[in-house]
Structure 1
Amino acid sequence: MASFLAQEVQLAKRHEEILSQRSVLLQQMENHLGDREAAKTWQMQEANAAHKRNLVLTNDIETAEKKLHAREHLLPHPDTVNLETLYWAQIEESIPKWEPFFLGRTQAPVGFGKIKQKQNIKPPKGSIPR
C-alpha cells in the first residue's frame, strides 16, 4: 500500500506541474492573441492613413492635370509658334526692300501695286449724311 501512496503523491505532483504549465500556456496564448489584435488594429489604422494620403495625392494629381490642360489651351500649338517665327523672319528679311517706300522716297517694291481707293463711298444706312 505504501507503493500506491507514493505513486499517488507522484501523480498529484505531476498533475500540479501539468496544471501550472497549462496556466502558463493559457497566459501566453492570451498575450499572443492580445498582441495580434493590437497589431491588427495598428495595421488598420496605417491602412486608413495610407488610404487618406492616397486620396489627397490623387486629388493633387487631378488638380495639377486640370491646370496643365487649362494651360495647354493658353499656349499656342508648336506648329503655330513655328509659323509665326518663320513669318517674322521673312518680314525682317523684306524690311530693307520696303524701307525706302515707308520713308516716302520710292514706290512700292515690284509686285505690289497701288491700292485703289473708291471715290464714291456710301455711308451706312441709318447714318446722318454730311
Structure 2
Amino acid sequence: MEPVDSWLEREMELNKSHEDILTRREALLRNSEWQLGANEAKNSNLALSWTRAKNRNQILLQKLSKAEEILKQGTRSNSSRTLTDLQASYWKMVEKQLPEWKQDVKKKGKSTTPR
C-alpha cells in the first residue's frame, strides 16, 4: 500500500500548488484591473487637459488676431502723431540732461584714474 500513500501525498502537494497558483493568479488579475482603471482615468484626464489646452490656445489666437488688427488700425490713425510727440519729448529731455551727465562722467573718470 505504499504506492497509494505516495500517490495521495503527491496529489495533496499538487492540490496545494494549484491553490497557491490560483491565489496568485487572482491577485495578479486584481492588480491588472486596478492598473487598467488607473490608466483609463489617466487617459481620460489627459484627453480633458488636451481639450482644455486646445480651447485655450484657440482663444489666445483669436485675442492675438484682434490685438494685431487693433495695432494695424492704430498705426493708420492718431497713434503716429502720439508717437512723434513722445519721441520729441524724449529727445528734449536727453538734450537737457546731457550736460549734467557729461559732468558726472568726467568726475567719475578722474576719481578712478590711478595716481
Give the TM-score, by structure 1 length: 0.58
Which residue pairs with 2:60 in the alignment? 57
Q: 2:80 and 2:41 mapped to 1: Cα distance?
A: 58
Q: Specify the code of the residue in structure 1 equivalent to 2:60.
A: L
Query: Alpha-carbon deviations, 1:4-27, whole Å to 9, x = none?
Result: 100000000000000010011011
How far the C-alpha of 1:69 sits from its partner, in A, is 0.2
From 7, 10, 22, the equivalent of 1:7 is 10
Paired residue secondary structure (1:33): helix
How far the C-alpha of 1:73 sits from its partner, in A, is 0.5
Q: Can you give the 5+ residue segments of structure 2 that lack an aligned partner in the other structure?
A: 89-115
Query: Alpha-carbon deviations, 1:25-72, whole Å to 9, x = none?
Result: 011111111111100000000000101110111111011000000001
From 47, 50, 58, the equivalent of 1:47 is 50
Task: Please report the RMSD computed on the Cα atoms of aligned residues, expressed in angstroms.
Answer: 1.9
Q: 2:80 and 2:58 mapped to 1: Cα distance?
A: 33
Q: 2:68 and 2:23 mapped to 1: Cα distance?
A: 66
Q: 2:51 and 2:24 mapped to 1: Cα distance?
A: 40
Amino-acid identity (%): 30
Q: 1:72 and 1:31 mapped to 2: Cα distance?
A: 61
Which residue pairs with 1:32 in the alignment? 35
Q: 2:72 and 2:55 mapped to 1: Cα distance?
A: 26
Larger radius of gyration: 1
Q: 1:76 and 1:6 mapped to 2: Cα distance?
A: 101
| Deviating 4+ runs (over 6 angstroms) | none
